[in-house]
Amino acid sequence: MPEQAQAEKRSGREGDERPADGAGAWWPADRVFAHPPAPLTRGDVSLRAVAVLVGLVALRGLVYVAQGAELLSDDWSVLASIEVNGVAEAAPTLQWGRPVAWLVDTVLYGAVGPHPLVLFAVITVLNAVVAVLVFLVLGRFVRSSSALAVAVVWVLAANHNTLTVWSATAPTVVALALLLGGVLALTTGRWPLAGVLLALSVLSYELTAPPAIAAVVLLPAARPLGWRPRAAMGALVVLATAWVAHDPLTDPRWDVPGVDLVWRALFSDGLLGTADGPTRLVHYLGDLVLVGVVVAVVAYLLGERDREDGPVLVLWGVAVIALGSLAWLNLGLGQEGIGMQDRLLAVSSIGAAMVLVGVLQLAWRHLRGAAVVAAVLLVGVLVIGQFVSLRAWARAGEDAIALQRFLALVADPSPDAPVDVTVGSGLREHNGVIGIDEGNGSAAGAYLLAFGEGSGRLRLVRDEAEFVPVLPGERLIDWRWVDNFAAIDGDGIGFVAAVTVPGPGQATVFGWADRGPDGGEPVEVEITVDGDVVGRVVATAERPDVALALGRDDPAHFFELAVDVPAGDHAVCARVVDGPSLGCDAAEDVQPAAPAAP
């Protein structure tokens, strides 16, 4: 259908018939919008637009798979619960508080099991459904081109990547799909279906309660609805909200996140995919969007109120952000609002995409050259931020796998030979993403799934004071060993344990290298600084504590070597001569060496 015909159909110039409901009254929302949305037909759905969105979601998925899609955090604990207690106990804490979420997790994990690529494929399909629904819902009110632009920006933005890569957030993605499906049904006048879908979305994740209630009250329908149908829909949503509130998954926090945190999570840190981005760039991104919103408000007040001008879309986006943020009062956004916290931006991220596209539309009407430059820069930021975020998720997912490989090499725990392990110290976090942790049971779950029930206990500690054995024979493993280890001659092991800067112009590298549990011939290690070989050392020093942690009888396989380094920051690495790399560590803020005496 041509754009002009679509615009006329949407504005009500064609077939402007407004049948009253049983009470003979029109709902105020229908008056505010002047004309009802036209009934949705198959011809209104652009297959090209759907193909573009599905293709973008699939491309993003391939980028993540190439970096390494692994199980993450709650995935481990849910799968371990199924392994021990059966499928019905996949997510017992959700069973009454979020029954739809419990059903989603039970079906997903019960059917797929511990197969990260298949789980990721499912979450990717769900994301594609949501992207298409965003396009269809917005297409009820604006041109297809505008709706597609918002959906594309939403797919590319990294400010909600929890939903795109983490299978444990499948209930949240389903809640978002149900919310959008309910809105779509409401605008077409199918209010019974709308009420059911909106209520189910709340029972999947209470984050959708405020926007669901707002949709019931504010949105128009193709068949204008009076107070009775809307009251029925509202009652279903309120009952679902009351059900969730009666048995909350977490204690209410009632923490009000600062506006600056919300803005950063949506438009600066969130788009960059990191809280460690260049300070100026972070501030510029958020400030530019804020300036655009202010200009859009002024333009709206001056009369630019057509839905395709830009200001209207910006204001709608701000409203969606506000509605999506109301549940944070109970759920809590966290310190940064990125990484694993950005699942709370499920609804707000759509509003953010609307704001970005609306600001570009306004710029296009008045400064086309600037609008083109801004659009190119925005796409660049989105693509880079998406890559940075996906890389952080992939690295977090690798933590549990690397730890399993390390323990299999040095301990090989099993129910017949259980081994208790403590790994630390410090929180393993990658741009707000935690792949394995003690508090949520993912550490114990990953250990159980890798080595079997009864194979021992895995404990992760964040505080150095807790990095001590609490059980007889417990192994203490440093995360740096896990990061750097490599197998030597099959069942041998080596790694860089630390790099220190004892003085100006110096760095000392420490590590371990053996040829197997029985020791064998000493291992010669080569040290490099920024890729240049600076020395060799034979690993024959004694470290009984390291040997005990590794389960080695012979403690004489440690190495230590002091090397000269220039001033600045450097990568100091070790590798077995004619063998594998043993990893690297940083020598930071090295001061210049004193000049040699004449």
For 149-201, write each residue's pLDDT tens digit: 999 999 999 999 999 999 999 999 999 999 999 999 999 989 999 999 999 99
Backbone angles phi, psi at 508, to 5 degrees: -120, 130
pLDDT exceeds cutoff 60 at 597: no
Residue 292 resides in a domain: yes
Pick 586 or 42 by higher pLDDT: 586
Average pLDDT over residues 275-297: 85
Cβ pair 432, 388 in contact under 8 A: no
Q: Which two tokens stand for residue 584?
A: 């690297």
| Same-domain check for residues 526 and 384 | no
Report yes or no on 31 lying in a domain: no
Is residue 460 included in any domain, yes or no?
no
Statement to judge: residues 262 and 383 lie in one domain: yes
Residue 429 lies in a domain: no
pLDDT in tens, 480-494: 999 999 999 888 999
Domain assignment of residue 78, yes or no: yes
Is 180 within the bounds of a domain?
yes
- Asked if the structure places residue 103 within a domain, the reply is yes
Q: What is the mean pLDDT of residues 227-249?
A: 88
The token pair that represents 262 in the structure block: 């919300």
| pLDDT value of position 45 | 81
Cβ pair 201, 178 in contact under 8 A: yes
| 248 and 370 both lie in a single domain | yes
* DSSP letters spanning 424-481: ESS---BTTB-SS-STTSHHHHHHHHHH-TTS--EEE-SSGGG-S--STT-EEEEHHH
Are residues 314 and 183 located together in one domain of the fold?
yes
User: What is the per-residue pLDDT for 309?
Assistant: 87
Comparing 327 with 175, the larger pLDDT belongs to: 175
Mean pLDDT over 9-14 rounds to 40
Q: Are residues 373 and 493 in the same domain?
A: no
Same domain, 102 and 240: yes
Amino acid occupying residue 429: E
Domain endpoint, select from 364, 391, 418: 391
Domain around 586: 487-590
φ, ψ for residue 73, nearest 5 deg: 45, -110
Tell me: do 247 and 384 sit in the same domain.
yes
Is residue 483 within 8 A of residue 402, CB to CB? The reply is yes
The answer to whether residues 382 and 513 belong to one domain is: no
Select the more confidently predicted residue: 259 or 238. Answer: 238
| Domain end (from 391, 414, 449) | 391
Average pLDDT estimate for 382-411: 94
Contact 124, 108 (CB under 8 A): no
pLDDT at 5 over 60: no
| Average pLDDT of the residues in 44-59 | 93
pLDDT at 328: 57
* pLDDT reading at 277 higher than 80: no
Give me the sign of the Cα torsion angle 103, 104, 107, 109.
Answer: negative
pLDDT of residue 24: 36
Q: Given pLDDT bands bounded at 50, 70 and 90, which one contains residue 559?
A: very high
In this structure, what CATH number is given to the domain that contains residue 540?
Answer: 2.60.40.380
Cβ atoms of residues 219 and 186 within 8 Å = yes
Q: What's the pLDDT band for 95 if we cut at 50, 70, 90?
A: confident
pLDDT at 210: 92
The total of structural domains in the chain comes to: 2
The confidence score (pLDDT) of residue 4 equals 43
Band (pLDDT 50/70/90 cuts) for residue 103 is: very high
Q: Is pLDDT larger for residue 38 or for residue 351?
A: 351
Average pLDDT rounded to a whole number, residues 352-357: 97
Q: Quick check: is 294 in a domain?
A: yes
Instruction: Go through 321-343 and write b for each residue having 16 or more CB atoms within 10 A of its CB, e for each that does not.
Output: bbbbbbbbebbbbbebbbbbbbb
User: pLDDT per residue over 514-555, tens digit each?
Assistant: 998 887 889 999 999 998 999 999 999 999 999 999 999 899
Q: Are 387 and 491 in a shared domain?
A: no
Question: What is the overall mean pLDDT for the chain?
Answer: 87
Query: For the residues 215-239, what does the mean pLDDT come to?
Result: 89
- 335 pLDDT exceeds 80? no
- Of 341, 364, 391, the residue at which a domain comes to its end is 391
